[in-house]
Amino acid sequence: MAQRSDIRGAGLGLKRELLPQLMQHQGKPWLSQLQFLEIAPENWIAAGGKYAAELDWLKQHYPIVCHGLCLSLGGPDPLNIPFLQQVRRFLDDFEIPLYTEHLSYCSDLSNGYIYDLLPIPFTEEAIRYVAQRIRQTQDTLQRRIAVENTSFYVDAPISEMDEIDFINAVLTEADCDLHLDINNVYVNSVNFGFDPYAFLDKIPVDRVVYGHMAGHLQVSPGLLVDTHGEAIADPVWQLLKYAYDRLGGFPTLLERDSNFPPLADLMQEVDHIVSLQHHAETTHQSLLDKIA
């Protein structure tokens, strides 16, 4: 049975477009530092035939985490309990130790799913509302989950606090973990004019279970769009290094959802994540040696 401790090092958000290359080149040296994979349960639940065989292959070769797309934790409609029960069986059947979802919403009562992630207003009422839904999710799944900080482009005028204070309050009220997306921190810092390093300084170390890295598109000097279709930008790499120095080298994966280069090229970014993790480990060991 896989454990959360099996999720370590550097990983890859697996898209079906990348799977044939991954299976074909398994064992090649340039894949050696890939240590775990992330899949969206919505894309694999009830898979049969070829997809079921591919899922079995993944389970045999890598620890897997599940990152949900459509739970709509902050939405106004009731949680989809039948779907969550399907997720629980999926996690159990494939021995997947961790499930995460976005701290946002993507549906409403009148329009259904809107296929985008919208921000929850940062208010005391919203903290209590979404925390109750996270606790309900954890009860249904019979396991602890993590929520991901998201990128967004419109600030709610009724917000009463900063994003990081809202996130920390939700983590405490729901007693859940954090899935830290470094690119989303950077994108929001540019779009809304805050210090991303000060944001990371307020992240609770013991809540971070793993992280995301991705590329974004610069539309204008003050507007970034989180596309997951470009190479990771230098300021985001610098922010990840700072996060490791402060929080330790937590497991981190590369997200790439479009504009795919060859898998071997993507692995260069995975390798860079590993090099920063090793640097953080060396730095922490040097500090411990000085204290001793």
Q: What is the pLDDT of residue 169?
A: 98
Q: What is the pLDDT of residue 132?
A: 98
Q: What is the pLDDT of residue 285?
A: 66
Distances (CA, A) of 92 to 1, 45, 222: 9, 12, 44
The SS3 of residue 275 is: helix
Mean pLDDT across 39-43: 95
The SS3 of residue 57 is: helix
pTM given for the model:
0.95
Distances (CA, A) of 205 to 82, 92, 200, 247, 269: 33, 28, 10, 6, 24
The confidence band for 1, taking pLDDT boundaries of 50, 70 and 90, is low
The confidence band for 116, taking pLDDT boundaries of 50, 70 and 90, is confident
Mean pLDDT computed over every residue of the chain: 93
pLDDT at 287 over 70: no
Q: What is the pLDDT of residue 225?
A: 95
Which of 43-52, 201-210, 261-270 has the weakest average pLDDT? 43-52
pLDDT at 291 over 70: no
Residues near 289 by beta carbon (within 8 Å), at least 6 away in sequence = none
Q: What is the pLDDT of residue 15?
A: 93
pLDDT at 117 over 90: no
Mean pLDDT across 7-12: 97
| pLDDT tens string 58-84 | 999 999 999 999 899 999 899 999 999
**72: nearest Cα among 43, 123, 111:** 111
pLDDT at 180 over 90: yes
